Amino acid sequence: MLTTKVDLRGVPCPLNLVKVKLAIEKTAVGDILEIEIDDGEPIQNLPVSLGRQGQEIVETIKCQGYFRLKVRRRL
Amino acid sequence: MSLTEEQIQRYSRNIILEQVGGAGQEKLLASKVLIVGVGGLGSPAALYLAAAGVGTIGLLDGDQVDLTNLQRQIIHHTADVGKRKVVSAKEKIEAVNPDVAVRTYDVWARADSIRDIIREYDFVIDATDNFPAKFLINDVCHFERIPFSHGGILQFEGQLMTIIPGRTACYRCLFPGPPPANAVAPCGQAGVLGVLPGVIGLLQATEAIKYLLGMGGLLTDSLLTYCALTMEFRKVPAQRRADCPLCGPNATITTLRDEGKVVCNRKGCKC
Amino acid sequence: MTALLSRGVPFVLGRNGMKSLQINGRAHQFAPAEMPATLCALLEKLGIGAATVVAEVDGRIVTPEQFAQTEVRDGQTIELIKFMGGG
Q: What is the CATH number of the domain that holds A30?
A: 3.30.110.40
Q: What is the mean pLDDT of residues B136-163?
A: 98
Distance from CA of B25 to the nearest CA of A (A): 11
Domain span at B165: 15-237
Q: What is the mean pLDDT of residues A47-65?
A: 95
C8 close to B (CB below 8 A): no
CA C78 to chain centre: 4
State the pLDDT confidence band at B181, using cuts at 50, 70 and 90: confident
For the stretch B120-150, what's the b/e string if a residue is b when 16 or more beta carbons lie within 10 angstroms of its beta carbon?
ebbbbbbbbbbbbbbbbbbbbbbbbebbbbb
Q: What is the mean pLDDT of residues B112-137?
A: 97
Which of B135, B149, B184, B269 should we substitute to test contact with C (largest number of C Cβ atoms within 10 Å)?
A: B184
Q: What per-residue confidence (pLDDT) applies to B271? A: 43
Q: What is the mean pLDDT of residues B136-160?
A: 98
Does B270 score more than 60 pLDDT?
no
* Count of the separate structural domains present in chain C: 1
Q: What per-residue confidence (pLDDT) applies to C15? A: 58
Q: Do A15 and B21 touch (CB under 8 A)?
A: no
Domain span at A30: 3-72
Distance from CA of B189 to the nearest CA of C (A): 11
Q: What is the CATH number of the domain that holds C66?
A: 3.10.20.30
Q: What per-residue confidence (pLDDT) applies to A7? A: 97
| B269 vs A3, residue with greater confidence | A3
Q: Is residue B271 part of a domain?
A: no
Q: Do B197 and C51 touch (CB under 8 A)?
A: no
Query: Residue B71: left (phi > 0), alpha (psi -120 to 50), or beta?
Result: alpha
Q: Do C51 and B183 touch (CB under 8 A)?
A: yes
- Of the listed B187, B244, B247, B269, which one is catalytic? B187
Q: Do B175 and C64 touch (CB under 8 A)?
A: no
- Rounded Cα gap, residues B80 and B101, in angstroms: 21
Which of B236, B241, B246 should we substitute to test contact with C (largest number of C Cβ atoms within 10 Å)?
A: B236
Q: What per-residue confidence (pLDDT) applies to C3? A: 40
Q: Do C56 and B153 touch (CB under 8 A)?
A: no
* Mean of the per-residue pLDDT values of chain B: 94
Does B263 score more than 50 pLDDT?
no
Question: Rounded to 5 degrees, what angle do the CA atoms B31, B114, B63 make?
Answer: 95
Q: Is residue B73 part of a domain?
A: yes
* Count of the separate structural domains present in chain A: 1
Q: What per-residue confidence (pLDDT) applies to B261? A: 60
Residues of B in contact with C61 (CB under 8 A): 173-174, 238, 241
Q: What per-residue confidence (pLDDT) applies to B180? A: 87
Domain span at C37: 2-82
Q: What per-residue confidence (pLDDT) applies to B259? A: 83
Q: What per-residue confidence (pLDDT) applies to C79? A: 97
Cite the beta strand spans of B190-258 per DSSP E.
Answer: 222-227, 232-237
Distance from CA of C16 to the nearest CA of B (A): 30
pLDDT in tens, B5-38: 999 999 999 999 999 999 999 999 999 999 999 9
Q: What is the mean pLDDT of residues B115-126?
A: 98
pLDDT in tens, B40-62: 999 999 999 999 999 999 999 99
Q: Is residue B70 part of a domain?
A: yes
| B195 vs C11, residue with greater confidence | B195
Q: Going by DSSP bridges, is the β-strand pair A56-62/A66-72 parallel, antiparallel, or unpaired?
A: antiparallel
Q: What is the mean pLDDT of residues A17-40?
A: 96
Q: What is the mean pLDDT of residues B179-192?
A: 84
Which of B16, B20, B25, B29 should we substitute to test contact with A (largest number of A Cβ atoms within 10 Å)?
A: B16
Q: Is residue C87 part of a domain?
A: no
- Rounded Cα gap, residues B186 and B159, in angstroms: 15
* Count of the separate structural domains present in chain B: 1
Does B84 score more than 70 pLDDT?
yes
Q: Do A15 and B3 touch (CB under 8 A)?
A: no
ipTM, two decimals, is 0.91
Q: What per-residue confidence (pLDDT) applies to C7? A: 47
Q: What is the mean pLDDT of residues B207-217?
A: 98
Q: What is the CATH number of the domain that holds B168?
A: 3.40.50.720
- Rounded Cα gap, residues B141 and B267, in angstroms: 31
Residues of A in contact with B9 (CB under 8 A): 15, 18
Q: Going by DSSP bridges, is the β-strand pair C60-62/C53-57 parallel, antiparallel, or unpaired?
A: antiparallel
Which chains would you list as touching A if contact means 3+ CB atom pairs under 8 Å?
Answer: B
Q: Is residue B267 part of a domain?
A: no
B264 is known as an active-site residue: no
